[in-house]
Structure 1
Amino acid sequence: MSEHRTALIWDPAVTAYQFRPDHPFNPKRLELTVSLIEAMGLAGGERTPIVAPRQATDAELLRVHSPEYIDAVKRFSAPGADVSDAWRWGLGTDDTPVFPGMHEVTSLVCGGSIRAAELVMGGEVTRAFNLCGGLHHAHRDRGSGFCVYSDLAAAIAWIREAHGARVMYLDYDAHHGDGVQGIFYQDPEVLTLSIHESGRYLFPGTGFVDELGDGEGYGYSLNLPLDPFTEDGSWTSIQAKLIPEAAEAFRPDVIVLQNGCDGHMLDPLTHLRASTRLYEETVRVVCETADRLCGGRVVATGGGGYAVWSVVPRAWTLVWAGLSGQQAPDAIPREWLDRWQGESPELLPERLRDPEGAYPPVPRRDEIEATNRRTFESLRRQAYPLLRGWGLGF
C-alpha cells in the first residue's frame, strides 16, 4: 500500500447520466467498475475512502461555460421541454441527446471532479478518482461528443481560482480532448497534453501537433496524434518520454488525469489496439512524475470506454489500484463474475490483465511505430523554442 491516501468519488446517483438505453455511453460501466473494485477489496479503508460527490454550483459552472449555455441546458432538462433549438447548443443530436434531469446529474458529475480537487488541494488525500467524470468534449457554449458540461474544466478552473496553482492536464483517451484544450487555449497556467488517435480518422477531427495554444497560452497546448492500430509498445514508449519531459518543463502543482479507456483493442468505437497494460503503465508514469514534481497530487477521472463489460471495469480497476498504490491481484473474484455473467451479453474475462499475446499483432506494426515516432519528433521540433523558454532543451 502506498503512503498516499487516495479517495474514490462515487454515488450511484451519477448513473442517471444516461442519454437513452441503447446509447454507447452506458452508465452500467460505472456500477460494474465500483463493484469490481469493492469485490477485490481495493477501496473503503482508511487510506482508500469512498467519498460522495456534490452538486457543482452555477458559479462553478460559469467559470467554464457561458450563462446562455447553462440556461439552455436547464431549459432542456425539464420534462416535456421544447428542444427544437437544442441543436444550436450541440445538444439533441444522436451523439448528445437531451434527457430529463440533464442539468442536475451533469452538475453532480462536475461536482464530483471539483470534490476530488478539493480533497487533493486541501491535503485530505494525495490523489482522488472521480470515475464518472472525464467529459472532455464539452465546450464553453455547446455540448459535444456525449458531453454536456466539462467536469474537467470546472475542476481545473476551481483549482486555479481557489489555489492559484499551475495545472497539467493529461488526456490519453482515444479521442482528442478538444473541449478542455479549447477552454484553456489562452491560459499559460494550464498545460493541456492530449495523446489520442489521429483526428484524420476519428472524432472530433482535431488534436494535431500544430495546435499549440494562442496568445499568452501559446506553447501550453500539446498534442500527440497516434496512427490507427497503434499498440501498447509504441504508445507507452512515447508516453514514457513525453509525460515526464513536459512536466519537467512546466513544473505543475497538480496533475489532472483523464483515463478514457476507449483505446483498448476491444473498444467498438475506435481503431487503437492497446491492452490493459496501457492503463497500469500510464498511471505508473504519471504518479512517479507527480511524486517527483508536485507532492504526488493527482486528480483523476474516467472518460470514454465502450467495451462496457469486457474492458472498462478491468481498466479502471487497474487505474484505481495504481493511483492508490495497491497491487491488484490478477484473478477476478468468482463472486463478481457470478453476479454479472447472467446480465452480460458476452463471456466476462476472468483475469484483470490481458495476457501477453492476447491480441494478434497488426501486419503494419513497424510502419505504425515509425509514423508515431515521426509525429513525436515533429511535436518536439515545433514545441522546441517554447520548451527551451521554459528551461528545457531537447
Structure 2
Amino acid sequence: MSAYNFGPNHPMSPKRLELTARLARELGIFDLPQVRVLESFVADDDALATVHSRAYIAAVRRVGADPTLSDPGRGLGTEDDPAFAGMHEAGARLAGASLIAADTLISGAAVRAVNFGGGMHHASREKASGFCIYNDVAMAVMRLLDSGVSRIAYIDIDAHHGDGTQNAFWDDPRVLTISLHESGLTLFPGTGFANEIGGPGAEGSAVNVALPAGTSDAGWLRAFHAIVPPLVKAFGPEVIVSQHGCDSHREDELTHLNTSVDAQREAALSVATLADAVCDGRWIALGGGGYSIVNVVPRVWSHLMAIAAGKPVPLRTAVPPSWRDHVREHYGREAPLFMGEDADTWWRSWEVGYNPADAVDRSVMATRKAVFPLYGLDPWFD
C-alpha cells in the first residue's frame, strides 16, 4: 500500500499509512477476535473501468511504466499528482482494498470494513486530481450497486469537497452523496456549494455543506448533525460508505478548518450509530486526506478502526510507548501522549434554533433549504 508514493516532498506521504497500521497494531485493534486483516490486490482494468475510461487507465499505465511520459491533460505529472514508476499498480492496489471491503459486505462475510488507505475522492472518469489517481470510493459504490444494493449513502467529511465521487453519481438517484467540507471559496477544488444538488431525475442526491474557513469543533459537529442524520434516515440506504479524511484538523497545513482528533472520533461514532440505525450496521469506512502524519492521522484512523470493530478506544488512552519510541527514532519527533486532545466537543443541536449571524449556521441553512424539501423535511425544524 505504501507504494502509492508521489515522492519525498509531497504532502501525501505513505508514512502516514505505516504509522497508522503500526499504531493500530500496538493498540491491539488488529488482534481483536472480530477483526480480520486482509491483503489487498491490484484491481484489474474491468473493475477500474466501472468508474474510469479505458483510455485514462491506459494513460496511467503508460506514465507509470515511464514517468517521463507525463500527461498533464489527464492530470498525470502535475504538481498535485507527480508521475512515478508503478503509478498504475499502486493506485489500483488502493482501489483493490476498497473492492475487498465491498465484497465482504456483499458476501455477508463482514458487516463493517475499513480501508484507511483509500478515500481517493477527487479522481474523475478521465483525470487524476488532488493526489487521487483512481477513485476507489466510486468503485466500491459501483461494486455494491452492481451486486444488487439499491440505495447507498456516501458521507464525506474530508476538508476538501468530494467532487470526483459526487460527479460519478450526479445522475444516479440510488446514491446519496453528502460532503461536509471547507468552502470552495477558500480551498481546492473550488466546488461543493449548496446549490449542487444532483442532475435531472436525481435532484437531492448530491448534498454539500460548504463551511467557512476557521470552523471549529462546535460548528463542524453542529453542521454534521444538522445535515447528515436526518437526510440519511429519510433516504433509507442499505449500506453507508464514508470517507474520513482528517485534514480538517487545526494542525493540517493544507486546509483552514479547526477541528480536533476528538471531534473526528465523534463523527466516526455518529456514522457507526447511524449505520446501526438505518442499515443493520452495514458500513464501509475509508481514509482520505490528512497531512499531519504523526500527531493526527494515525490517531484518527486508529479510532476509526476501533469504532468499526465495536471497541472504541477511550480518548484518555495512553499512546503506546513503543509507538512513541518508533516515531522518535525514525522521525525525530515527539509523538502525542494520549489518543485524544482533551478538546471541548460540545455542539448546539439544530433544535435550539438557527442563528443568522453565525456563518456556519448560514451555510447549514443554505444546504437545508436546497435539499430538505426534496425529502419532505422542513429546513427550519426537522
TM-score of the pair, normalised by structure 1? 0.90
C-alpha displacement at 1:216, in angstroms? 1.9
User: Following TM superposition, where does structure 1 have runs of at least 4 consecutive aligned residues deviating by more than 3 angstroms?
Assistant: none
- The letter for the 1-side match of 2:62 is R
Equivalent position of 2:371 in the other structure: 383
Contact 1:196-1:224 at 8 Å conserved across structures: yes
Distance 1:194 1:369 in 2: 23
Q: Select 2:11's aligned residue among 5, 24, 27.
A: 24
1:82 Cα offset (Å): 2.3
Q: How does 1:18-97 map to 2 (within 5 A)?
A: 18-79=5-66, 81-83=68-70, 86-97=71-82
Contact 2:149 2:238 in 1 (8 A): no
1:338 lines up with 2:325 in the alignment = yes
Q: Paired residue for 1:257, among 236, 242, 259?
A: 242
> Is the 8 Å Cα contact of residues 264 and 311 (structure 1) preserved in structure 2?
yes
Q: Structure 1 regions of 5+ residues with no counterpart?
A: 1-13, 359-366
Deviation at 1:159, TM superposition (A): 0.6
1:4 maps to none
Match of 1:153 among 132, 138, 160: 138
Paired position in structure 2 for 1:286? 271
CA–CA distance in structure 2, aligned partners of residues 297 and 215 of structure 1: 29
- The offset of 1:150, in angstroms, is 0.2
The answer to whether the 8 Å contact 2:356/2:362 transfers is: no
Q: Following TM superposition, by how much is the alpha carbon of 1:389 offset from its aligned partner in structure 2, in angstroms? A: 8.7
Identity of aligned residues (%): 39
Match of 1:233 among 203, 206, 218: 218
TM-score (norm 2): 0.93
Partner of residue 261 from structure 2, selected from 265, 273, 276: 276
1:185-264 matches, within 5 Å, as: 185-264=170-249
Task: Structure 2 unaligned segments of length 5 or more: list them.
Answer: 346-354
Bigger mean CA offset, 50-59 vs 33-42: 50-59
| 1:369 to 1:48, Cα distance in 2 relative to 1, 3 A | farther
Q: Aligned partners of 1:305 and 1:368: how far apart in 2?
A: 31
| Offset of residue 357 of structure 1 | 6.5
Q: Residues of 1 paired with 2:224 and 2:50: CA distance?
A: 31
**Equivalent in the alignment of 2:352:** none
- The whole-number CA distance in structure 2 between the counterparts of 1:368 and 1:31 is 44
Paired amino acid for 2:309:
S
Shift of 1:263: 0.3
Alignment of 1:104-123 (within 5 A): 104-123=89-108
Structure 2 residue 165 is the aligned partner of structure 1 residue 177: no
Q: Distance in 2 between matches of 1:161 and 1:81?
A: 37
The 5 A counterparts of 1:301-340 are 301-329=286-314, 330-340=317-327
- 2:361 counterpart (358, 373, 376): 373
Q: CA deviation at 1:217?
A: 1.9
RMSD between superposed Cα atoms in Å? 2.0
